[in-house]
Amino acid sequence: MVPGLVPEQSPSDHCYRMDSSPAGTPSPQPSRANGNINLGPSANPNARPTDFDFLKVIGKGSYGKQNHIMAERSVLLKNVQHPFLVGLRYSFQTPEKLYFVLDYVNGGELFFHLQRERRFLEPRARFYAAEVASAIGYLHSLNVIYRDLKPENILLDCQGHVVLTDFGLCKEGVEPEETTSTFCGTPEYLAPEVLRKEPYDRAVDWWCLGAVLYEMLQGLPPFYSQDMSQMYENILYQPLRIPGGQTVAACDLLQGLLHKDQRQRLGSKSDFLEIKNHVFFSPINWDDLYHKRLTPPFNPNVAGPADLKHFDPEFTQEAVSKSIGCTPDAVASSSGASSAFLGFSYAPEDEAILDY
CATH number of the domain bearing residue 121 = 1.10.510.10
Domain contains 301: no
13 is catalytic: no
123 and 230 share one domain: yes
Q: Could you give the CA distance from residue 228 to residue 233 in angstroms, rounded to a whole number?
A: 9
114 and 238 share one domain: yes
User: What one-character-per-residue DSSP string does 175-193 give?
Assistant: -TT--B----S-GGG--HH
Local structure of 55: helix, strand or coil: strand
Residues in the chain: 356
Contact 154, 164 (CB under 8 A): yes
Q: What is the pLDDT of residues 187-221, one digit of tens each?
A: 999 999 999 999 999 999 999 999 999 999 999 99
169 and 211 share one domain: yes
142 and 252 share one domain: yes
pLDDT grade, residue 348 (50/70/90)? low
63 and 124 share one domain: no
As a whole number of Å, the end-to-end CA separation of the chain is: 42
User: What one-character-per-residue DSSP string does 318-339 give?
Assistant: SPPPHHHH--TT----TTTS-G
User: Would you say the C-alpha torsion 34, 40, 45, 50 has a positive or negative sign?
Assistant: negative
Q: What is the DSSP letter of 340?
A: G
202 and 279 share one domain: yes
101 and 121 share one domain: no
If one counts the domains in the chain, the total is 2
98 and 114 share one domain: no
**Which of 290, 316, 349 is at the close of a domain?**
290
User: Nearest Cα to 73, choosing from 331, 333, 344?
Assistant: 344
Could you list the residue range(s) of the whole structural domain that residue 138 is in? 110-290
Domain contains 191: yes
Determine which of 86-95, 242-251, 256-265 has the lowest per-residue pLDDT on average.
Answer: 86-95
Local structure of 207: helix, strand or coil: helix
> Exposed e or buried b for every residue in 133-155, given b needs 16+ CB within 10 A?
bbbbbbbbeeebbbbbbbbbbbb
311 and 330 share one domain: yes
Pick the catalytic residue: 148, 166, 201, 205? 148
pLDDT grade, residue 77 (50/70/90)? low
| CATH code of 58's domain | 3.30.200
pLDDT, position 300: 94
Residue 92 has pLDDT above 50, yes or no: yes
* Average pLDDT value for the chain: 79
Residue 287 has pLDDT above 90, yes or no: yes
Domain contains 249: yes
Strongest mean pLDDT among 47-56, 88-97, 181-190, 310-319: 181-190
Q: What is the pLDDT of residues 102-141, one digit of tens each?
A: 888 989 999 999 999 999 999 999 999 999 999 999 999 9
Domain contains 247: yes
**Which of 229, 263, 290 is at the close of a domain?**
290
pLDDT grade, residue 61 (50/70/90)? low
207 and 126 share one domain: yes
135 and 261 share one domain: yes
Domain contains 193: yes
